[in-house]
Every structure is written in C-alpha cells, then in structure tokens.
Amino acid sequence: MTTRLLFSTFLLVSLAFAFGSSGAQAQTKGDVIGDLIKDVAVPRKKPLRVVGGAVAAKKLFGAKKDAAKLKPHSYGFYTKGCLAGAEQLEPTGPAWQAMRLSRNRNWGHPKMVALVRRLAAEAKEHDGWNGLLVGDLSQPRGGPMLSGHRSHQIGLDADVWLNPMPNRELTYNEREKISAKSMVLDRKRLNRKRWTEAHAKVLYRAANYNEVERIFVHPPIKKEMCEWATRKGFKNRGWLGKIRAYYGHHYHFHIRIRCPKGTVGCKDQKLAPRQDDCKANLAYWMGSKPWKKPGKPKKKPKKKYKRFVMQLKHLPKACRTVLNAD
C-alpha cells in the first residue's frame, strides 16, 4: 500500500514537473488545437509580418506593450500559448496594488482580472487584509516571458504576494524594490511569526471560487492549510485538493483558473483532486529526500543538449494572429 502511495505520489510529482519545466515538449505530442486562426474574431487583412523562425517567442511577446484588440480568448495551455483581448488590471484598485509595474505583466483574461479584483475586495472586507499585493499575471498578449515563469502564458494565472499590503499607496519605485517576504523557515516549516489567520482565510476563499482550478503554495503552506481545516472542523475538505504543494511559492501564491467555458483551443489542465489530498500531495515534499529540480536529467548527458527555445511555430497557430493584431 505504502509503495503504491509513494509511486502515485511520484507520478503526480513527475506530472507537475512535466507541466512546469518540460511542459513545452510534453505538450507538442498531445496538441489537438488545430487551425485556430479562423476562430479569431478579426480576419487577417495584411500578410503576417512575423513567421515562425529562429526568434524566440518570448522576445516577440515580451516586446508587445498592449493587448491584441481582439475578442478575449486564451489559446493553448498555461505553459504554451497566448492571449487575445487581454484586460489590464489597474495598478491601484480599491483593494489591491500591482507590483513590479515595469514588467508590464498586469494583464489577463477579463475573467482572471475580475477574479483578482473580487478576491482583493473580499479579502479586505472579510479576511483581515488592507488589500492584496498582486504580482505577475500575464503579458499584454500572454505568451512566453523573457524572465521568470514558464506558465502565465494564456492570461489565466495570477500571483498574489503573501506580504500584507501597507495601508497606503506605494510609489512606483517602492513597487519595484520592495521584496516579497517568505512565509517559511525552510522547506518543511512555516514561519509562524509571519503566517497569520488572514493568510489561511484568503487561501480558503480563493480555493472556494468555482473557476479556480489550482492554487500553488509552498509545501509547508499546504500542510498548514490541512491542519487549519482540521482545527476549524470543516466537514467539506474538497477545496484543499485545489491547493497544490509546489516549491517556489513561499512568498506568493499562484492562482490558476480553468479555461472559460466554450473557449475553443484553450486546453485545461487535468482536474485537481476534489478530496483534500493532504497525504499524497505532501508525501514527497515532506519526505526525507531532497527535492529534485524539475527537468534536471538524472545523469549528465554525454552530448550537450541544445536548450529548447520556444518559437512562434511551437505555439498554437492563432498566436501569430494575436501577435500581429493591432
């Protein structure tokens, strides 16, 4: 039984890694997106200015300052796709402040942006927050980024910092410089001097939104949420399944929503378990073995592999239209 449990945990972890680092290659096989150009609302008038060449897609998408003026549409998968008709989250709202404005990553699918606004407002009203500090959503047209995330490509991911928001408006420079604060002491232990009831409440709230599919948190945070639910005596623990342990998320949590209904060519991730998944999801992370770096080969390959560069040709076809639209 234990072996089986361990094995399934290992499988889950490998899957998580596949979606993370090597998601690009993993996606190619199962691509069922097909010719999506016809689904873009505005027909193409001019010939394409950019064709899939050797240019890294992150350079093309990273250079775009504005959204594609098309109907909102997420194309592809979280780690391989793009976004038409993005909406910009206001840098300062009634209950949030977007951070690192120079990155220009406060764009998302209107549904994602609406969810961030809602979560911020409700966290302020009910959960003991002044408001939320919001990290990266997506680039104006989604796509791969010059630095940082592998996901966040289709406007359906958002990072929210775990630091409390100060009760004043931060300057542009402060938003560039203030660091997010880690909520853990090490890979297994939470920093209880920083962690508060307000943190648990906002995660609980976000996980209970219907459209939210996953929330990534550092493993000790998932552990704490499991224990918190027990202390609270919650009978329904299904929402805990959406809270996924994944390293790198100790100073922010990452909200991922499902593809909006009827979005042709938007590929959902396999549903997260709808049980608490407190044991299996934590077994690997809380075990004694060091965590493997995702995508790292077990043995050094004799030949040096060329690093995979995601190009426009690897993205759904519709992403050319998104890139070239006004």
Contacts with Zn ion by CB under 5 A lie at: 159, 254
Cα(152)–Cα(231) distance, rounded to whole angstroms? 34
Residue 193 is inside which H or E element, if any? none
Tell me the pairing of strands 96-98 and 132-134: parallel
Q: Match 């069922």 to its residue by tokens.
A: 32
39 versus 157: smaller Cβ distance to Zn ion: 157
- Residue 132 is inside which H or E element, if any? strand 132-134
Q: Nearest distance from residue 176's CB to Zn ion, in Å? A: 19
By beta-carbon proximity to Zn ion, the closer residue of 141 and 254 is: 254
CB of 181 to Zn ion, least distance (A): 16
Which residue, 153 or 321, has its beta carbon nearer to Zn ion?
153
What whole-number distance in Å separates Cα of residue 137 and Cα of residue 313? 24
Q: Which is nearer to Zn ion, 24 or 325 (CB)?
A: 24
Token pair 């027990």 in the structure block, residue: 230
Are 258 and 215 within 8 A, CB to CB?
no
**Minimum distance from residue 159 beta carbon to Zn ion (Å):** 4
Spatial contact of 116 and 108, defined as CB atoms under 8 Å apart: yes
Nearest to 246 by CA among 22, 17, 9: 17
CB of residue 56 vs Zn ion: minimum separation in angstroms? 20
Minimum separation from the CB atom of position 103 to Zn ion (A): 13
CB of 250 to Zn ion, least distance (A): 12
Please give the residue whose beta carbon sits closest to Zn ion in the complex. Answer: 254
CA distances from 302 to 25, 48, 297 (A): 21, 40, 11
Q: Please, which residue, 58 or 254, has the CB nearer to Zn ion?
A: 254
For Zn ion, the closer CB: 159 or 213: 159
